[in-house]
Structure 1
Amino acid sequence: MLVDVLVFVAGLFARTIVEYVIHGLLGHAYRTLVTPLHDVHHRDPRAVFALGAWIPTALVLAGALAWFGLASGVIFYGGIVSGFAVYEYVHYRIHFAKPSGAVEARLRARHLAHHMSEPDAIFGVTTRIWDVVFGTEPEPERMRELAAGVARVAPLSGSSNLGRVIRRRIAAP
């Protein structure tokens, strides 16, 4: 049981590097299939671009559970998927809600600074670990300036494109 918990937590942690790679490398540094979707999100933060990834992600997890049960690899992947869900929730709150505490306020300030001032840096949304490791974290003084610059940015009003995307997928043949 303890081993399973540790494997799950390792999957949660692994999700942080996956987040950094998808956002920083596939969304910004290189032109990939992610780039145009991510560009839309930068033009309109209401555009939730990762929605299309949920169906195959869930199918792989369901298939792995059916085929392998609670094998360590499936538990690890479950941690990654759970981390993906946390990322989606945090990312939504960053754009659409007032921070509920100091941690959320720091995450919001970092991500809005990425959107508004530093598109080639600050790729971590749920953590700054990989920005520090890979040198995409601005110096502390610059981060303070950036945070001050976005401190008064109001959360977005209205809704994301989630409902529209779901309706379109349901209506598709």
Structure 2
Amino acid sequence: MNARPLYQSVALFGIYAIVCLCIAFYQLAVQTVVGWFTGGFVLFTLVEYLAHRYFFHLQPSSPFRARLQEAVHGNHHANPRQMTQIMMKPVIALLVFLLTSAVFYGLFGLLMVAFLPGFLLGYSAYLIVHFAVHAYRPPTNFLRQLWKNHHLHHHQNDTKNFGVSSPLWDILFQTRYKPNDRSTVR
């Protein structure tokens, strides 16, 4: 798999996050930056879960919605190792996050410079985990459970395990799928 789009996106968002954090630490108290940064990261994991559950897996009640679902996420389930189905193109992702920046600035004002880097770190973690889950064998460390969760989502029950970078919201919203047979995922 070609990881170049992943590296480009993570580098782009990393630079953007560093600039925001420099402004944040110059303008705000450290505890304010840490709190809002953490809030941005946690909110991203919720946005990831909600988007995956309610948008990417929307029930096609019309031909238009069926085509939309297939284009947005159905192709990813059909071809899970195809890089173009794993993540947005970096340019599109940048446009989305510039729009997101404007929304966060409208909501939070200057606090956005502390909040957005946490959100971007969450998105970068999602990109890295999602790419790795589809490109590599599961590790033998604590990240193995993320591989198992996503593998189960793709191959056993696509109505469960919507969190890619974290199982937190699947646990809280009771959408976590754990089969009785532990040997089903290697």
Say yes or no: TM over 0.5: yes
For residues 62-81 of structure 1, the aligned pairs below 5 Å read 71-81=110-120
- What SS does structure 1 have at the residue aligned with 2:80? coil
Q: Report the counterpart of residue 16 of structure 1 in structure 2.
A: 45
* Aligned residues of 2:104 and 2:112 also touching (Cα < 8 A): no
Q: CA deviation at 1:101?
A: 3.7
Gap regions ≥5 residues in structure 2: 1-29
Q: Report the counterpart of residue 110 of structure 1 in structure 2.
A: 149
* Aligned residues of 1:109 and 1:150 also touching (Cα < 8 A): yes
Of 91, 102, 108 in structure 1, the residue corresponding to residue 130 of structure 2 is: 91
Tell me the distance in 1 between the aligned counterparts of 2:100 and 2:117.
7
Q: CA deviation at 1:2?
A: 1.8
For residues 1-173 of structure 1, the aligned pairs below 5 Å read 1-31=30-60, 33=68, 36-47=71-82, 48-52=85-89, 53-60=92-99, 71-138=110-177, 140=178, 142=179, 144-145=180-181, 147-151=182-186
- Give the TM-score, by structure 2 length: 0.67
CA RMSD of aligned residues (A): 2.7
Tell me the distance in 2 between the aligned counterparts of 1:150 and 1:14.
29
Tell me the distance in 2 between the aligned counterparts of 1:7 and 1:124.
22
Tell me the distance in 1 between the aligned counterparts of 2:40 and 2:46.
10
Tell me the distance in 2 between the aligned counterparts of 1:63 and 1:88.
22
Total equivalences in the alignment? 145
Q: CA deviation at 1:30?
A: 3.8
- Give the TM-score, by structure 1 length: 0.71
Q: Relative to 1, partners in 2 of residues 1:71 and 1:43: Cα closer, same or farther, differing over 3 Å?
A: same
Tell me the distance in 1 between the aligned counterparts of 2:118 and 2:144.
25
Q: Relative to 1, partners in 2 of residues 1:110 and 1:72: Cα closer, same or farther, differing over 3 Å?
A: same
Structure 1, 112-121 or 127-136: larger mean CA deviation: 127-136
Tell me the distance in 2 between the aligned counterparts of 1:30 and 1:8.
34
Tell me the distance in 2 between the aligned counterparts of 1:106 and 1:97.
14
Tell me the distance in 1 between the aligned counterparts of 2:162 and 2:103.
30
Q: Which runs of 4+ in 1 moved over 4 A?
A: 31-35, 61-67
- What SS does structure 2 have at the residue aligned with 1:103? coil
Identity %: 26
Gap regions ≥5 residues in structure 1: 152-173
Tell me the distance in 2 between the aligned counterparts of 1:75 and 1:23.
25
Tell me the distance in 2 between the aligned counterparts of 1:29 and 1:66.
29
Q: Relative to 1, partners in 2 of residues 1:10 and 1:62: Cα closer, same or farther, differing over 3 Å?
A: closer
